[in-house]
Homo-oligomer: A and B are copies of this chain.
Amino acid sequence: MGMAPVAHVLFNKFMKFNPKNPKWLNRDRFVLSNGHGCMLQYALLHLFGYDLTIDDLKAFRTVDSKTPGHPEAHDTPGIEVTTGPLGQGISNAVGLAMAQAHTAAVFNKPGFELVDNYTYSFLGDGCLMEGVSGEASSLAGHLQLGNLIAIYDDNHISIDGDTNCAFTEDVVKRYEAFGWEVLVVDDGDNDLDSIEAAIKKAKESKDKPTLIKLRTTIGFGSLQQGTHGVHGSPLKADDIKQLKEKFGFNPEQSFAVPQEVYDLYGKHSSEGAAAEEEWNQLFAKYAEKYPEEHADLKRRLSGELPEGWEKSLPVYTPADPAVASRKLSETVLSKVQAAIPELFGGSADLTGSNLTRWKQAVDFQPKATGLGDYSGRYVRYGVREHGMGAIMNGLAAYGTILPYGGTFLNFVSYSAGSVRLSALSQVRVLWIATHDSIGLGEDGPTHQPIETLAHFRALPNCMVWRPADGNETSAAYYVALTSKHTPSIMAFSRQNLPQLEGSTIERASKGGYVLHEVEGADITLVSTGSEVCICVDAAKYLQEKHGLKARIVSMPCFEVFDAQPKEYKLSVFPDGIPSLSVEVMSTMGWERYTHEQFGLNRFGASGAYKDVYKKFEFTPEGISKRAVATVDFWKDVPNIRSPINRAFQQLI
């Protein structure tokens, strides 16, 4: 209720949108970063004529409604990004603004301002307290995103009461320090003129994002206005009654919208439709003059990759040299970037380690810095993993960009909140997560992931890849890039890995496959990434020293494997053969596939990578020792059942 006045002004006087086509490219974007206030947004969408009825509003916060307790992009027409977890929305808005700047730089031509939309975001104290918003806002200031306008609901109330109890910093000064233009409106409850003037001024700020600090009263009009009593609890009946009377509504009616309100707001709907129509005509002319760009933009908006792009994926044979998979990832990026112009990424200040930048890449930077321009496709995110994750969600939501971001696998966890929202909101975002195990060596336990793969494997709608060689790296990119509604985390090694006999892009694209089959196998060894080649050596060792025959399965991606038909899965993990998994991190989750697990359910160690592997016995000998124990333990069991052979597999 406190933000209703500014919402009224913004949506009626400034926002450009067509309720009948919520996906029109050049619409202004609106992000409700304080997502718990979503009833305001749902009401606006309804009033402006989006496909959201009064009944939808009545179904607020009920199962399978279009109006969940926090806005979800894939549930409700007109919601740009999924918000609620604080700090995310404003950071998504930075991504949306970057996407606009880049798209404009690439596609606008003289006389064809195809994209010139603004991104508006409402945010509250909670969003400002979260570190992720600070990361994204600092970068937004650096990037001089004049197309970004954030409106801060300064109501002095959070759940714990007055913000004086925990949040007394000078927000205006902080945002000025970030390089933002900051405007203040003292009476956000009543002074609509000042609100309008502030937004107008903000739009004129071309090389700085703007924060408008709006002093408001939470629950404005309620008997409890200005207290945290109205933050999370519904108003009482008598309060609602007096409130309706105060604002001139019939106090006896619920969910009743006077026709004059519909008329006032409905006008905008036809204006929006006309604006899009005008734009469509411009776009048609653009098609004539710039057919290639037109086709490219249309294709991007469809989410489909250019035909034949996959031919640029590198293919390897065992004769090719051993290479670190982070380097293999660099090779893929360098090859496919030309075919996929919407690939747009960077690193959280680890470019030289993540190998995320192809040689001729131009940095995405304001021209004034002399370091690049907005047509550049490489982002210097700074040491801001969480901000990067949230920004990528915004970039993906814009519709013309396929974002990727690099950091060490261990530090993807800093961005757990954003990765979760990538998965929930079904956006295609790629994480290039290098230094993926104790194999990173000297940096030690603070940097060596143990729980990270289990964490993200447990996250729904998120693919976790850990390729063992070049072909598997190509497979990971292939599946990640063609999965339009799923984020991917690709884990790559720091150390060199040989090109394996038996790996192909096609086979690896099934998530798991038999790398090495053998008649009358005594055991199945299953592994991922840098441990697959050690398993290959262990199999030889087992044959030579113990006369045991080992099959080898490579499992670069659980999620993709789980989606295969049961017969295929049983052919990879057949009944009758005991199995042992080998991965230098938490064993959690491997019990789904194997009888026994060899992993690292403790923290790692700092040292040369070979010494660290040796310390924890991830060697052919160490693996063989456990394989022998496995074979012994299971030899008297008559009908060994494969763990994946189950009554039901509850994967969704």
A interface residues with partner B (beta carbon < 8 Å): 35, 61-65, 68-70, 72, 82-87, 125-127, 129-135, 138-139, 141-142, 158-160, 164-174, 176-179, 347, 349-353, 363, 365, 369, 371, 380-387, 410-411, 413-414, 416-417, 420-421, 423-424, 442-447, 450-451, 454-461, 586-589, 591-592, 595-599, 601-603, 605-608, 611-612, 615, 626, 629-630, 632-634, 637-639, 641, 643, 646-648, 650-652
Do A130 and B139 have beta carbons less than 8 Å apart? no
Task: State the oligomeric state as a number of copies.
Answer: 2
Residues from chain B with a CB closer than 8 A to the CB of A423 are 603
> CA of A157 to CA of B151 in the docked complex: distance in angstroms?
33
Residues from chain B with a CB closer than 8 A to the CB of A68 are 444-445, 605-606
A-B contact pairs, 16 of them (CB 8 A): A61-B444, A61-B606, A63-B605, A69-B444, A69-B606, A130-B383, A142-B169, A159-B349, A160-B352, A165-B365, A165-B380, A420-B451, A454-B458, A588-B588, A595-B646, A629-B647
> CA of A405 to CA of B340 in the docked complex: distance in angstroms?
46
The listed residue (B131, B171, B459, B626) touching A131 by CB distance below 8 A is: B131
> CA of A85 to CA of B603 in the docked complex: distance in angstroms?
15
The listed residue (B178, B608, B611, B647) touching A596 by CB distance below 8 A is: B647
Do A460 and B380 have beta carbons less than 8 Å apart? no
Q: Which residue of B lies closest to A127 (CB)?
A: B383
Q: Top 10 nearest A-B pairs by Cβ distance?
A: A131-B131, A63-B607, A633-B647, A68-B606, A591-B591, A166-B382, A454-B458, A84-B446, A173-B177, A455-B455
Residues from chain B with a CB closer than 8 A to the CB of A607 are 61-65
The listed residue (B129, B363, B410, B629) touching A384 by CB distance below 8 A is: B129
A56 to chain B, nearest CB (A): 13
Do A634 and B647 have beta carbons less than 8 Å apart? yes
Do A61 and B442 have beta carbons less than 8 Å apart? yes
Do B646 and A424 have beta carbons less than 8 Å apart? no
Do A591 and B643 have beta carbons less than 8 Å apart? yes
> CA of A169 to CA of B587 in the docked complex: distance in angstroms?
43
Do B142 and A135 have beta carbons less than 8 Å apart? no
> CA of A646 to CA of B444 in the docked complex: distance in angstroms?
31
A617 to chain B, nearest CB (A): 10
Residues from chain B with a CB closer than 8 A to the CB of A380 are 160, 165-166
Do A160 and B647 have beta carbons less than 8 Å apart? no
> Given A134-B135, A595-B647, 14 more contacts at CB 8 Å?
A63-B605, A68-B445, A130-B131, A131-B131, A131-B384, A132-B414, A160-B382, A173-B173, A174-B174, A450-B460, A454-B588, A588-B588, A595-B646, A632-B647
Known: A454-B454, A601-B651, A601-B652. A85 touches B447 (CB 8 A): yes
Do A588 and B457 have beta carbons less than 8 Å apart? yes
The listed residue (B62, B125, B382, B591) touching A383 by CB distance below 8 A is: B125
Q: Which residue of B lies closest to A599 (CB)?
A: B650
Q: Which residue of B lies closest to A442 (CB)?
A: B61
A644 to chain B, nearest CB (A): 9
Do B129 and A135 have beta carbons less than 8 Å apart? yes
> CA of A413 to CA of B424 in the docked complex: distance in angstroms?
15
A631 to chain B, nearest CB (A): 9
Do A158 and B69 have beta carbons less than 8 Å apart? no
The listed residue (B69, B72, B138) touching A167 by CB distance below 8 A is: B138
Q: Which residue of B lies closest to A233 (CB)?
A: B352
Known: A458-B455, A599-B650. A447 touches B129 (CB 8 A): no
> CA of A349 to CA of B352 in the docked complex: distance in angstroms?
39
Residues from chain B with a CB closer than 8 A to the CB of A64 are 605, 607, 615
Residues from chain B with a CB closer than 8 A to the CB of A442 are 61, 69
Residues from chain B with a CB closer than 8 A to the CB of A82 are 446
Do B85 and A411 have beta carbons less than 8 Å apart? yes
Do B177 and A170 have beta carbons less than 8 Å apart? yes
A58 to chain B, nearest CB (A): 13
> CA of A588 to CA of B592 in the docked complex: distance in angstroms?
8
The listed residue (B138, B602, B629) touching A129 by CB distance below 8 A is: B138
Residues from chain B with a CB closer than 8 A to the CB of A611 are 62-63
> CA of A556 to CA of B524 in the docked complex: distance in angstroms?
33
The listed residue (B167, B178, B416, B638) touching A142 by CB distance below 8 A is: B167
Do A450 and B444 have beta carbons less than 8 Å apart? no
Q: Which residue of B lies closest to A126 (CB)?
A: B383
Residues from chain B with a CB closer than 8 A to the CB of A131 are 87, 130-135, 384, 386-387
Residues from chain B with a CB closer than 8 A to the CB of A351 are 159-160
Do A639 and B641 have beta carbons less than 8 Å apart? no
A577 to chain B, nearest CB (A): 14
A652 to chain B, nearest CB (A): 5
Do B413 and A417 have beta carbons less than 8 Å apart? yes
A622 to chain B, nearest CB (A): 11
